[in-house]
Chains A and B, each alone.
Chain A
Amino acid sequence: MKRGALLALVLAALTVLFIAIGTLHPNASARFFAGGEGLLSSASTPEAAARKLGSEIELRAWQRAYNSLGNKAQFTEQEFFHDITGYHESLRTYATLESYEVFPQHATASDADVQLQLHWSTVVGSFTDTRNLHLVRNGDRWVVDWPLVRSKVVPPQVIAVNYLRWDVIYRGAGDDWGIQDVEAPHVRIVDMHPVQRAAGVVILGELLNEDIVPAYVSVRATLQKKDGTPIASEGSFDKISHILLPKQVTPFLISFPNQTLADVGSIRMEPISALVSASADPVIEIQNQQLHPIPDPALTGQLENQSGQIVNVAHIITSFYNQTGQVVWIADQYTNRALMPQTPVPFRIPIPEDLAHSISSERTVVATYRARGVE
């Protein structure tokens, strides 16, 4: 009986102990589902308060996050929610917070500045939302003042729409015009050359729609050995603007991870084109473009949606040229906020440092996406 009671006591105590250990020091899986935090998380330091806020955003616990803010009287919970997830449907709307980092900037006994970097994952890649937080001490806790980015309100106005549009009558689903005796639009690769980068071989180039109708375009490249046998075949995927209006040019970039240029004897390029319906609307103007030199080489500028409808996602693709006009690099970026009519949105495309010195000019094109049902 005594041994039995002791065993019961030991098992009960061990159970409680194991649960306590697992809760105070959760393993990676448990932390993942708890939003990266253990039970000991608190707002006792500026960094801890910022991390707690990041955790709540990760868990999409909007009410809890909003209620923890020191300046919540300045905006509503809905505004806070839309500041993070977008005021209109955009990449932010469906993004998942992959991770967050906290960088202390400055601190005194009563207030502190902390940078919160939110690393979001979206369907087209990831983006980082950097927020500089001001924190104020409140008793033994620190509270965050959230730097709200308000949506710009465009005044009511009428915008005249006068753009070209091409419609195509399809015969049915899966109707590949290119293989059904409909002549494909004439397209031509106007520039192409391979470069060796750390991740592998990259093919840079530009494609021109020479036709008088719009074209769906894509480019496929096959690396071949010196004896002509294929090494690998890849496509341009999203590193191209797939819809080209007549006489338009798009950059393209094709990556061959883990390949070495020295092994390549030749490259077979296959531009693909098909007739598609298209329109010149929405018109996106690129303003204030500026090339920034080393130590932080980048192309900056602003996009302005000149149409009257919201553009949910814009894809910016830029060709960078050297002094002889040859393409030396191609880079791209997606906007994570919707483009409102007549509202400039800044963009910044980083340039690899080793190439920055050879770049003297650039050309940028913008592809757009509008959510279903908008048209």
Chain B
Amino acid sequence: MKPIDRAASSAQPLPMPLILLTALAVHLPLLLMKLPLKSYDTNFHIFFASHYLHHWFNPWNSKWYAGFSQATYPPLPQQWIAVLSHVLGLEMGYMAVQMAAILLLVVGVYRFSLLWVSPRAASFAALASVFLGSESFLVYSAGQLATTSAAPIYLNALPYLFEWVRYGRPRAFLKAAILFTAAAAAHHATLLFGSFFFAVPVLALVVMDARSASSEKSTGMGAVAARTIGIVVVVSAAIALVLLPFWIALIHYPVTQTPIPHASRANYILSPQWGLNYFVIPYGALILAIPFIIWRGSIQPRLRPLLLGFWFAFLVGLGGTTPVAHLLLGRAFEVITMERFSYWATLLALPFVGLLAAELIARFRTPALISLMVLAAFTCGFGVAWSTYRPADAESFRVDSAAAWLNRDGHDRYRYVTLGFGNKISRLAVLTDASSVDGEWNSGRLLPELTQNGAGALTSSKYFGAGGMKALRAILRHADHYGLKWVLVHDPSYDPLLTFAGWRPVDDLEDRTIVIWSKDGVPPAQPIPSPQKPPHWQGILWGTLPFGSSLLAILIVLIPDGRHDEEDDSSGAVGQPLVAGTVLS
């Protein structure tokens, strides 16, 4: 170890309560202001949560796509919102869950970083997670609650994975297994891809440490392999059971619809506006640390697995800027969005950032501290403010009056579709009793008019070009079949189509900015038979196991770990692994 490393590691880590208080000080006011409501997906999660609030054991939601199964999306954060909403209401319930995820991230980053760097560097990494641009971007601009709540759980599971595979401790096995399962219940993709970007480096670290340990404490490769296989089998089985309705839906109805363009797949050099959105804002000042990450990660053998995990996530997160994402993901490249890979890359970069910060502060003291604080503030500030500079909806308007209109005079006996509402359709769906043929969860829809044309939500049809207009025309053509009587229009560019297709304006709202069009002779909406509708037993599983896994995780993780002599043997920077129970207490 170099002298500078010793100097850095000899200093005390920042106290965890102080870091958690910093996270509260930064994010709590923003969440109390309900800033995430301006994001792309927040209302989507609240809409799902509102369904769980009223139909906990029935994942069939008839408000979108003339009926779709919410078992097509892991339910944990949304179910927690539903539970908390009994006290806080849906919106504040969302904010509470998001705040909990941010606090868990601080703990998770600290614990994960301890595997790689000194406690002091790990504490700086945890502090950096509070100001992480990608976290702010996902929370306040993208509203990706599932990703931002699954990742912290996953990060908290990884040290237990290390402990189990390295030392064979049964308690670590139990905690790792239940945390991985809970993480999957929050977001399956995090677990799937996290296994490659996060777990494989941790397992490589186990192998490296096992080889370098003294002979009496070394672990045979056979034991490492057996423990790895053991936990993979158990976790796979647990996830298969906890998310069984999800897997059944995925197997019966794989996502085969025509891919929908998403700007995270752009080349960020050829399309610099998307480079700003998906690279500069999420990474922020972390961009300056990339040369350090590559250099330090390369020259220190123990950090190489982490470096490679970061590097692959970084390349995939660049979307279409490199061919890597397309090569590694295949068709999935056209289905999933890339910003989550940048998020994971930044999480993997945090141990390096902590190391860099510790060394800079050890060497330059106050100037380094001030510089790092300024960079962190700007990174977080731009991430938070990005939803204002580039709002999810170009135009802000209220949908309460539209919901009230749909809810009165029997209008909700028919289905509706909106045009020009952007992601406000989730908000509208929460407020109204009426059912729509549109929605924002593309992977859950089965209506052929929507799946065959390569377009997203009907309300934004024109932005999907000919495919979007084909989908809209197809659904309007079958208005009678779906009981689709109302079209709520907030964008007059759709008026010619409605006029020539035989619809007529019947009312207007919000100072004539929303016009309601109607079609005569449409029969009231009837349930559309769907083979995707989950049977009752699946509803019971869906309402029990995912949420139950999180309760179990809380209980089991709070069991204190015993004292372990082996903790001191690792040749790297692992000092005093932090137990979640002690942190939270």
Contacts and interface: CB of A to CB of B under 8 A. Distances in A.
Q: Is the interface of B mostly helix, strand, loop or mixed?
A: helix
Contact of B267 (A8, A23, A125): A23
Contact of A21 (B262, B270, B323): B323
Interface in B304-341: 304, 307, 311, 314-315, 318-324, 326, 333-334
Nearest to B512: A372
A372 B501 contact: no
Interface in B98-138: none
Given A19-B269, A33-B274, A174-B518, A126 B466 contact: yes
Contacts of A202: none
B37 to A, nearest CB: 28
Contacts of B463: 96
A237 B501 contact: yes
Contact of B263 (A33, A170, A218): A33
A11 B294 CA distance: 7
Interface in B467-509: 469, 472-473, 476-477, 480-481, 485-486, 492-497, 499-502, 504, 506-507
Interface string A118-151: 0001111110000000000000000000000000
Interface string A263-279: 00000000010101000
A26 to B, nearest CB: 5
Given A37-B270, A123-B469, A173-B507, A30 B321 contact: yes
A272 B502 CA distance: 11
Contacts of A296: none
B492 A371 contact: yes
Contact of A91 (B266, B318, B496, B499): B496
Contacts of A1: 299
Given A216-B502, A274-B520, A30 B496 contact: no
A121 B269 contact: no
Contacts of B299: 1, 4-5, 8
B315 A94 contact: no
A123 B463 CA distance: 11
B280 to A, nearest CB: 15
Interface string A286-323: 00000000000000000000000000110100000000
Scoring B324, B495, B500, B506 by chain A CB atoms within 10 A of each residue's CB, the highest score goes to: B500
Contact of B499 (A7, A178, A369): A369
B182 to A, nearest CB: 33
B493 A123 contact: yes
B309 to A, nearest CB: 12
Contact of A372 (B405, B477, B492, B500): B492
Contact of A34 (B271, B334, B496): B271
Interface residues of A, number: 66
A237 B477 contact: yes
Contacts of A199: none
A29 B261 contact: yes
A173 B517 CA distance: 9
B565 interface: no
A75 interface: no
A4 B296 CA distance: 8
B515 interface: yes
A234 B477 contact: yes
Given A4-B300, A7-B298, A21-B322, A276 B495 contact: no
A319 to B, nearest CB: 17
A176 B480 CA distance: 14
Nearest to B486: A174
Contacts of A21: 322-323
A44 interface: no
A271 to B, nearest CB: 11
Contacts of A236: 502
A79 B508 CA distance: 35
Given A23-B270, A174-B518, A315-B500, A94 B477 contact: no
B301 interface: yes
Contacts of A220: 480
A231 interface: no
B466 A216 contact: no
A238 interface: yes
B474 to A, nearest CB: 10
Given A174-B409, A174-B506, A272-B521, A238 B320 contact: no
Interface in B229-282: 261-263, 265-267, 269-271, 274
A178 B502 CA distance: 15
A22 interface: yes
B295 interface: yes
A18 interface: yes
A242 B500 contact: yes
A27 interface: yes
A341 B356 CA distance: 71
Nearest to A39: B270
A70 interface: no
B210 interface: no
Nearest to A313: B496
Contacts of A15: 311, 314-315, 322
B500 A29 contact: no
13 contacts: A8-B299, A29-B319, A29-B326, A32-B266, A38-B270, A39-B269, A123-B494, A124-B497, A177-B520, A178-B520, A216-B502, A369-B496, A372-B495
Interface of A: 1, 4-8, 11-12, 15, 18-19, 21-23, 25-27, 29-30, 32-34, 37-39, 91, 93-94, 96, 98, 121-126, 170, 172-178, 216, 218, 220, 233-238, 240, 242, 272, 274, 276, 312-313, 315, 334, 367, 369, 371-372
Interface of B: 261-263, 265-267, 269-271, 274, 294-295, 297-301, 304, 307, 311, 314-315, 318-324, 326, 333-334, 405, 409, 411, 462-463, 465-466, 469, 472-473, 476-477, 480-481, 485-486, 492-497, 499-502, 504, 506-507, 515-516, 518, 520-521
Given A172-B409, A233-B480, A242-B502, 19 more contacts: A8-B294, A12-B294, A18-B322, A22-B318, A23-B267, A23-B321, A26-B320, A30-B266, A33-B266, A34-B271, A39-B270, A121-B469, A122-B496, A123-B462, A123-B472, A124-B496, A173-B516, A276-B504, A367-B500
